[in-house]
Amino acid sequence: MLTLAVVFVLCVALYLYGTRTFTYWEKKGIKHDKPLPFFGNNSRMYFWKKSMTQIGVEMYWKYPKEKVVGFYRAMRPELVVRDPEIIKRILVSDFGHFHMRGINTHKTVIEPITKNLFFADGDIWKLLRQNMTPAFTSGKLKAMFPLIVERAERMQNHAINAPPTGRVLDSRELMARYTTDFIGACGFGLDMDSLSEENSAFRKLGIDIFKVELSQIIKQMLKEIFPEACKHFRIFGKIENDMNALVKTILQKRNYEPCGRNDFVDLLLECKKKVKMVGQSIETVKSNGMPEVVSFELTDELIMAQIFIFFGAGFETSSSSTSYTLHELAYHPEEQRKVQEEIDRVLAKYDNKLCYDAVSEMTYLHCAFKEGIRIFPSLGHLVRQCARKYTFPELDLTIDEGVSILIPVQALHTDPLYFEEPEKFKPSRFLTDFINPMTKNIYLPFGEGPRLCIGGRLGLMQSLAGMAAVLSRYSVEPAPQTVRHPRVDPTSNAVQGVIGGLPLMFKLRTK
């Protein structure tokens, strides 16, 4: 009898623990789905049924009249934001309250690999951003362009090598190999040779970064449900080991000193030589209201984390965007012809050579790319976290420090309220400014505000050049195994992926 009583008490205690935050949105009068103990509204992500982007889309359309919708990620309250003005306030106007991504589940125990520019919060993020911005100036991007051309030509001549009768290739994999080689060359001074080598070690590393293992999902779920008890769980242990080996190779090749290439690694080594990076705090202020001055040292651990995100994000987002745009062009041959006619016309001005100025003039190609990432943005949702108590004036809603924000980019990009015939692939919509001024706040393929993607222009440049190289020589068509509307991979919670890749028929053009 005593045993049953103990079990009953334990069950009640567990239930109360697993539901202790679930009155948060109800008390504030915010509509939300009923959460499950421990899992909140996030059980389908934990069990690989839907990605976070897919869940965000679902919540967006389920409550069409609401400006915001309540959500529980495990037991942590989260706010799904549907309103453009509120989105602008979070990302730009009131950024000081929402400068945190809040992806790390614990404030002090953070995996080394996640101390990077994308995941980091607070002062570490601010000083990293401040010191890395010089790597992405227009002049440096232009200086990198010959490296892009070299990889683009290698892709044309060797990786595709399709006859007039055609050759089926997975465009997702093809573009991933191209972007992997470019990131290796421009960022690290390495010839990764993914386009020539079927079993390239660097391509394998790229695949491993975004391959989700069951053990990782379980650890992430436990860290979100029991953040204190599971704070020492390592989700990225294997990748961290691989990245440490890669970084050691890169740094040894340069004798741990800048070598004059002025690339990403040189920038990091220059920062390391400063002993400490110094700047104004985004987290703490003096009694007079002025920001405190903060500093920290760029350790080898932090260098590894920055190289990880530059490598991973640099190739994966661009390959996702370019391959999906090619997929849409394959199903819209009339749009593909417009793009190819422009490419031919512009290249003729430049002796049929790809160069920075030529790609800059390819306006319709740019429009097609923008439309591709409108329909299928690589980052299908943005996340932020409230850094201190904040009130939304139009809602009379106050949220507390630690409440997460989810901006459902995928849903916003396909809302007919902002885009006429959103289901249609219409590059021409980007030839003029949008009629609806709010569209600016909801077209967010690279984010917005101070945490706007630092490598956005670099990604755009390599993407346009890659597509120009492909379409100047080849046409793309649906292959027998191509799926018109590919299924989103529910495990792809960082960069959106699709099940089965994006196979296309590549045919040599006859001009």
**Three-class SS of 96-137:** HHCCECCCCCCCCCCCHHHCCCCCCCHHHHHHHHHHHHHHHC
Residues 6+ apart with CB under 8 A from 174: 155, 159, 160, 323
| CATH number, domain with residue 420 | 1.10.630.10
Domain for residue 137, yes or no? yes
Q: Which amino acid is at 415?
A: D
Domain for residue 13, yes or no? no
DSSP structure string for 390-448: EEETTTTEEE-TT-EEEE-HHHHHT-TTTSSSTTS--GGGGSS--SSTTHHHH--BTB-
Task: Output phi, psi for 354, to 5 deg.
Answer: -70, 135
- Angle subtended by helix axes 264-273 and 300-331, to nearest 10: 160
Domain for residue 207, yes or no? yes
The verdict on whether residue 453 carries a ligand-binding annotation is: yes
Structural tokens at position 153: 């030509």
A 10 A CB-CB count for 508 gives 15
290: exposed, middle or buried (Cβ count in 10 Å: 0-12, 13-18, 19+): exposed
Prediction pTM value: 0.93
Closest CA to 381 of 422, 411, 339: 411
* CA separation, residue 471 to residues 163, 336, 346, 358, 376 (Å): 14, 8, 13, 14, 20
DSSP 68: E
Q: CA–CA separation, 63 vs 47, rounded Å?
A: 24
* CA separation, residue 45 to residues 51, 330, 383, 436 (Å): 5, 32, 16, 34
DSSP 188: I
* CA separation, residue 110 to residues 117, 449, 474, 487 (Å): 14, 25, 46, 33
Q: CA–CA separation, 466 vs 315, rounded Å?
A: 12
* pLDDT at residue number 346: 97
Q: Could you give the number of structural domains in the chain? A: 1
* pLDDT at residue number 436: 64
Domain for residue 190, yes or no? yes
* pLDDT at residue number 102: 85
Domain for residue 379, yes or no? yes
Domain for residue 15, yes or no? no
Query: CA triplet 52, 54, 58: central angle to 5 degrees?
Result: 115
Domain for residue 14, yes or no? no
Domain for residue 11, yes or no? no
Buried b (16+ CB within 10 A) or exposed e, 215-231: ebbebbbbbbbbbeebe
Q: Find tokens 């706010």 and name the residue.
A: 79
Q: pLDDT tens digits, the chain, 511 residues: what are they? A: 668 888 878 888 888 888 899 999 999 999 999 999 999 999 999 999 999 999 999 999 999 999 999 999 999 999 999 999 999 999 999 999 999 998 888 777 888 899 999 999 999 999 999 988 888 888 888 888 888 889 998 898 878 888 888 899 999 999 999 999 988 888 888 888 888 877 788 888 888 888 888 888 888 888 888 888 888 888 888 888 888 888 888 888 888 888 887 788 888 888 888 778 898 999 888 888 788 999 888 888 899 999 888 888 888 899 999 999 999 999 999 999 999 999 999 999 999 999 999 999 999 999 999 999 999 999 999 999 999 999 999 899 999 999 999 999 999 999 999 999 999 999 999 988 666 666 778 999 999 999 999 989 999 999 999 999 999 999 999 999 999 999 999 998 888 999 999 999 999 998 6
- Range of 385's domain? 1-6+20-508
Q: Which residues pair with residue 71 across a beta bridge?
A: 78
